[in-house]
C-alpha cells in the first residue's frame, strides 16, 4: 500500500514555528496562519506530482505571501511606455515643487485658518489667486476632477433648462464618461445642433429658446474629425451667447496654459484663449497638460464662480489639503515662467533626440544580443492632443518568452518597468523616464534576461 505523499507535509503549526519572531496571538499571527494554509494547499497539489518541499521552503513561501499582503497596492512604477500622460499610470507626474509642497502640507497647516486675524478661513483661497494669475480669469474654483466641474456647473446654472451642444461634441471621453449622460444627471436638458462633422454658429443661434441656459462647447480631447468639417470659434459662440443672454461654458479638458507648437506639437486651445475670447466659464483638468494633481478647475466670471463657491456641491467635491498644495505649487511654475524645468510634462517634451538615443543605447546594451535601438514617437496621451507625438529613440528588446512574457517579467520587478509592445519586441522609451531612473531600467533588463532565460 503506497503512502499518500501529502501526509509527509508539515502542519500549519510547524510552519508558524519556523517563522522567527511571530507573536503568539493577534492579527499578525492570524495573517500568518491564513498564509500558511494557502501555501500548504498549493504544496498538496504539487505533492500529487511528486514535489516534496522542505519545512524551510514552505516557511519561506509563507513569508513571501505575508509580505505581498502587507505591501501597499499602490506603488511607484517606471513609465517607459512612451506615453507621457499615461492614464493607467496616473497621468501627469508631479514636479519637485509640488512634491515638496505636499510634504510641507502633510503636517498641520493653515488649510482653513486665516493666520492674520486668527479666525476661520477658506481652503478655496489657497488656489484661487494662482488660478487668476495663471489664466487671467476673474476668479477660480477647484473640485476633485473635471467631470465634477462640468457636473457642478450644469447643475447650478442649467438644472431643468436647456443646454445646446454640437452633435460632434456629444462625446464619450473614456471610462464610459459621456457628455449626454452628465447633462442628464445634472438635471439639464440636452439640445443637439448641427451634424457630426459640421456645425455653425447659426445652428446654435437658431436653437436658443427662452428655456435655454447655456451653450456648451466640449473639446474633443481624445479623437479627431478631419476632412469635410466645420465648427464655430469661441469668439463666434461668445457673440451668440451674449446676443441671446445665455452662458457660454467651455469644457477644455486638457488644461493647457502654453503654446504647444513651441514643443513640436499641433496647437492646443489654451485656457487664456478661451477666456479672452468671451467664455463665461472655462473648465479643465489639473492632471493632464497642466501637469499637476488630479483636480477640476473652473475659471471665469467672478459672479458665477462666487455662486458656485457658495453651493453645497463645493463642499462635497472639494479638494483635500495635499492636492491643494500640489496644485498651487504647479500653477506657481506657470506664473513664474518655469514650466519647462518645473513641470515634468513640458520638460519631457523638451528632451533632445540625441540624448534620448544615448540613453536608449545603454538600455539596449544591457540586453546584449537581445537589444537594439529604433526610432519611434513619444505620444502625449491622457485624452490630450490626439495622435500627436514627438520623435524619440527606444530600446527594442526581445525575449525567448515573447514580447508579452518579457513585458510581464519587467512588470513583476520590485521597481516595475512598463514598456509597450511593437513588432514582437518590448520598446522602452527614455523620454518618459527620469534620467535618475536609468540605472533601474538597465538592472531590470539585465536581471530579467538572466533570471528568466531570455
Rounded to 5 degrees, what are φ and ψ at 47? -65, -30
Strand order in the sheet with 296-300: 139-143, 296-300, 281-285, 247-253, 212-218, 162-166, 189-193
3-state DSSP of 254-310:
CCCCCCHHHHCCCCCCCHHHHHHHCCCEEEEECCCCCCCCCCEEEEECHHHHHHHHH
pLDDT for residue 126: 94
**Cβ neighbours of residue 223 closer than 8 Å, sequence gap 6 or more:** 171, 386
Kindly compute the dihedral angle of the four CA atoms of residues 261, 385, 295, 321, in this order, to the nearest 10 degrees.
Answer: -50
Residue 5 maps to a domain:
no
Per the CB < 8 A criterion, the answer to whether 405 and 115 are in contact is no
User: Do 34 and 83 reside in the same domain of the chain?
Assistant: no
Residue 103 maps to a domain:
yes
Per the CB < 8 A criterion, the answer to whether 218 and 248 are in contact is no
Cβ-based neighbour number of residue 20 at 10 Å? 7
User: Do 275 and 367 reside in the same domain of the chain?
Assistant: no
User: Do 287 and 382 reside in the same domain of the chain?
Assistant: no
- Helix-helix angle 179-186:146-158, to 10 degrees: 50
Domain count, the chain: 3
Residue 368 maps to a domain:
yes
User: Do 320 and 356 reside in the same domain of the chain?
Assistant: no
**Cβ neighbours of residue 159 closer than 8 Å, sequence gap 6 or more:** 186, 187, 188
3-state DSSP of 40-98:
HHHHHHHHCCCCCCCHHHHHHHHHHHHHHHHCCCCCCCEECCCECCCHHHCCCCCCHHH
pLDDT for residue 137: 98
Q: Cell numbers at residue 301, please?
A: 466670471
Distance between CA 69 and CA 67 in Å, rounded?
Answer: 5
Q: Cell numbers at residue 233, please?
A: 470659434
User: Do 423 and 364 reside in the same domain of the chain?
Assistant: yes
Residue 2 maps to a domain:
no
Q: What is the pTM of this model?
A: 0.88
Residue ending a domain, among 293, 326, 342, is 342
User: pLDDT tens, 24-62?
Assistant: 778 888 898 999 999 988 888 877 666 788 888 898 899
User: Do 122 and 60 reside in the same domain of the chain?
Assistant: no
User: Do 309 and 412 reside in the same domain of the chain?
Assistant: no
User: Do 132 and 257 reside in the same domain of the chain?
Assistant: yes
Residue 401 maps to a domain:
yes
pLDDT for residue 141: 98
What's 233's domain CATH number? 3.40.640.10
pLDDT for residue 175: 61
User: Do 293 and 352 reside in the same domain of the chain?
Assistant: no
**Cβ neighbours of residue 368 closer than 8 Å, sequence gap 6 or more:** 449
439 to each of 302, 430, 434, how far by Cα in Å?
50, 12, 10
pLDDT for residue 118: 94
User: Do 373 and 301 reside in the same domain of the chain?
Assistant: no
Instruction: Report the chain's C-alpha Rg in angstroms.
Output: 27
Ranges in the chain, pLDDT < 70: 1-6, 48-50, 173-177, 221-228, 452-454
Residue 255 maps to a domain:
yes
Residue 295 maps to a domain:
yes
What's 406's domain CATH number? 3.90.1150.180
Q: Cell numbers at residue 200, please?
A: 455653425
pLDDT for residue 1: 43
Rounded to 5 degrees, what are φ and ψ at 83? -120, 115
Residue 59 maps to a domain:
yes
Distance between CA 222 and CA 201 in Å, rounded?
Answer: 23
SS3 26: coil
Write out the residue range of the structural domain in which residue 394 sits.
78-87+346-451
User: Do 177 and 63 reside in the same domain of the chain?
Assistant: no
pLDDT for residue 223: 58
User: Do 210 and 326 reside in the same domain of the chain?
Assistant: yes
Per the CB < 8 A criterion, the answer to whether 253 and 383 are in contact is yes
End-to-end CA distance of the chain: 44
Amino acid at each position: 500500500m503506497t503512502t499518500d505523499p501529502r501526509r509527509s507535509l508539515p502542519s500549519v503549526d510547524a510552519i508558524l514555528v519556523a517563522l522567527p519572531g511571530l507573536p503568539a496571538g493577534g492579527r499578525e499571527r492570524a495573517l500568518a496562519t491564513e498564509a500558511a494554509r494557502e501555501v500548504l494547499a498549493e504544496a498538496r497539489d504539487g505533492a500529487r506530482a511528486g514535489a516534496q518541499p522542505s519545512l524551510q521552503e514552505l516557511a519561506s513561501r509563507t513569508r513571501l505571501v505575508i509580505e505581498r499582503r502587507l505591501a501597499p497596492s499602490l506603488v511607484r512604477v517606471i513609465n517607459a511606455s512612451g506615453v507621457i500622460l499615461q492614464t493607467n499610470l496616473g497621468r501627469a507626474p508631479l514636479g519637485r515643487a509640488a512634491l515638496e509642497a505636499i510634504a510641507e502640507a502633510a503636517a498641520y497647516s493653515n488649510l482653513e485658518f486665516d493666520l492674520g486675524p486668527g479666525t476661520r478661513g477658506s481652503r478655496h483661497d489657497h488656489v484661487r489667486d494662482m488660478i487668476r494669475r495663471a489664466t487671467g480669469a476673474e476668479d477660480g474654483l477647484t473640485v476633485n476632477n473635471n467631470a465634477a466641474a462640468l457636473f457642478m456647473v450644469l447643475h447650478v446654472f442649467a438644472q431643468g433648462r436647456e443646454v445646446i451642444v454640437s452633435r460632434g461634441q456629444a462625446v464619450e471621453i473614456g471610462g464610459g464618461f459621456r457628455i449626454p449622460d452628465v447633462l442628464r444627471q445634472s438635471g439639464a436638458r440636452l439640445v443637439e445642433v448641427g451634424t457630426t462633422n459640421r456645425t455653425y454658429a447659426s445652428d446654435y443661434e437658431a436653437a436658443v429658446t427662452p428655456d435655454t441656459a447655456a451653450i456648451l462647447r466640449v473639446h474633443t480631447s481624445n479623437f479627431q474629425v478631419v476632412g469635410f468639417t466645420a465648427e464655430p470659434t469661441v469668439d463666434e459662440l461668445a457673440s451668440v451667447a451674449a446676443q441671446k443672454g445665455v452662458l457660454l461654458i467651455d469644457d477644455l479638458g486638457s488644461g493647457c496654459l502654453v503654446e504647444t507648437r513651441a514643443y513640436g506639437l499641433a496647437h492646443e486651445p489654451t485656457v487664456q484663449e478661451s477666456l479672452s475670447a468671451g467664455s463665461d466659464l472655462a473648465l479643465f483638468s489639473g492632471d493632464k497638460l497642466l501637469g499637476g494633481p488630479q483636480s477640476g478647475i473652473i475659471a471665469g466670471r467672478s459672479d458665477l464662480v462666487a455662486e458656485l463657491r457658495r453651493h453645497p456641491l463645493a463642499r462635497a467635491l472639494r479638494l483635500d489639503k495635499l492636492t491643494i498644495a500640489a496644485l498651487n505649487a504647479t500653477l506657481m511654475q506657470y506664473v513664474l515662467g518655469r514650466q519647462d524645468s518645473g513641470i515634468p510634462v513640458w520638460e519631457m517634451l523638451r528632451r533632445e533626440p540625441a540624448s534620448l538615443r544615448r540613453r536608449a543605447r545603454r538600455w539596449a546594451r544591457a540586453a546584449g544580443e537581445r537589444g537594439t535601438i529604433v526610432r519611434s514617437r513619444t505620444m502625449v496621451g491622457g485624452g490630450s492632443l490626439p495622435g500627436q507625438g514627438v520623435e524619440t529613440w527606444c530600446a527594442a528588446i526581445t525575449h525567448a518568452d515573447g514580447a508579452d512574457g518579457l513585458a510581464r517579467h519587467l512588470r513583476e520587478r520590485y521597481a516595475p518597468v512598463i514598456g509597450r509592445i511593437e513588432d514582437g519586441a518590448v520598446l522602452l522609451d527614455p523620454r518618459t523616464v527620469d534620467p535618475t531612473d536609468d540605472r533601474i531600467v538597465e538592472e531590470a533588463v539585465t536581471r530579467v534576461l538572466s533570471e528568466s532565460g531570455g
